[in-house]
């Protein structure tokens, strides 16, 4: 699985009519990084002017953002950036912890031939993003890593649920980060998981992944005090 390609920055000009993917990726980046705040209104007409494209393309992008839970569309009340609350974050971390820890045991029992190489390549790509100080790209590749690990569990109906949890976990983490984080450490903390999977050590893989998920938010461990997932 190739690493995610970097999204356009919110300040980058569009020299021609934007493709729907451009609109989607740029708005997603702005929401994830907090440049578009929870509750902020998004109008199709204004966005079409911003991206020099049709309202139809904007509408498609907003529907994709709705699928990821990043916007709320309410008919005549319009479209607004969704909230990002601690309560939702805790529940998504709980759900993700259960899903991924069960799945990795299945993955370790019967990994695909390319799994180890794919995981290692994704961690190296995260390290490159960290060196470039690109937190957004690092988070995109981080999600690719966890989706790739989950894919070998052969639970396709659960993959969209995991994807939404990953997106909102990263959004909450970025929103809660008041200090500059060590991006290289964030990337490197995936290596022990890769090594446990390569050894096909299911118990260790579950332990490492569980701890990894439970300690992702480095500025708000107290929100997990009663969640039952902290080691």
What pLDDT score does 75 carry?
Answer: 77
Please give the average per-residue pLDDT across 73-96, as a whole number: 89
Q: For residue 171, which of 125, 134, 140 has the smallest C-alpha distance?
A: 140
Q: Give residue 95's pLDDT band: very low, low, confident or very high (50, 70, 90).
A: very high
Give the residue carrying structure tokens 């690493």.
Answer: 3
Please give the average per-residue pLDDT across 135-139, as a whole number: 94
Return the number of other C-beta atoms located less than 10 Å from residue 162's C-beta: 23
Ramachandran category for residue 78: left, alpha or beta (phi over 0 → left; psi -120 to 50 → alpha) = left
pLDDT digits (tens, 9 = 90+) for 46-65: 999 999 999 999 999 999 99
pLDDT above 90: percentage of residues in the chain: 71
What pLDDT score does 76 carry?
Answer: 78
4 SS3 class:
coil
What pLDDT score does 8 carry?
Answer: 44
Residue 70 DSSP symbol: S
71 SS3 class:
strand
pLDDT digits (tens, 9 = 90+) for 98-136: 999 999 999 999 999 999 999 999 999 999 999 999 999
Q: Give residue 223's pLDDT band: very low, low, confident or very high (50, 70, 90).
A: very low
**pLDDT at position 4 over 50:** no
Question: For the chain, which domains are there?
Answer: 20-81 (1.10.10.10), 86-224 (1.20.120.530)
pLDDT digits (tens, 9 = 90+) for 6-34: 444 444 444 445 688 899 999 999 999 99
What pLDDT score does 14 carry?
Answer: 45
Q: How far is CA 14 from CA 43, 51, 98, 196, in A?
A: 19, 6, 42, 44
């Amino acid at each position: 699985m190739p690493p995610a390609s970097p999204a356009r920055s919110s300040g980058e000009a569009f020299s021609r009519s934007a493709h729907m993917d451009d609109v989607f990726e740029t708005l997603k980046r702005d929401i994830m990084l907090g440049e578009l705040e929870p509750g902020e209104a998004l109008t199709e007409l204004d966005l079409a002017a911003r991206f020099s494209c049709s309202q139809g393309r904007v509408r498609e992008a907003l529907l994709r953002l709705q699928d990821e839970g990043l916007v709320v569309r309410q008919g005549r009340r319009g479209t607004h950036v969704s909230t990002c609350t601690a309560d939702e974050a805790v529940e998504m971390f709980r759900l993700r912890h259960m899903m991924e820890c069960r799945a990795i045991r299945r993955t370790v029992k019967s990994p695909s031939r390319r799994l180890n190489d794919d995981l290692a390549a994704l961690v190296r790509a995260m390290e490159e993003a960290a060196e470039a100080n690109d937190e957004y790209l690092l988070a995109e590749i981080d999600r690719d890593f966890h989706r790739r690990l989950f894919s070998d569990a052969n639970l396709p109906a659960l993959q969209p649920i995991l994807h939404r949890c990953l997106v909102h976990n990263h959004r909450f983490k970025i929103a809660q980060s008041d200090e500059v984080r060590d991006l290289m450490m964030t990337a490197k903390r995936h290596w022990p998981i890769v090594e446990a999977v390569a050894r096909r050590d299911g118990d260790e893989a579950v332990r490492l992944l569980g701890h990894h998920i439970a300690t992702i938010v480095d500025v708000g461990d107290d929100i997990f005090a009663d969640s039952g997932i902290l080691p």
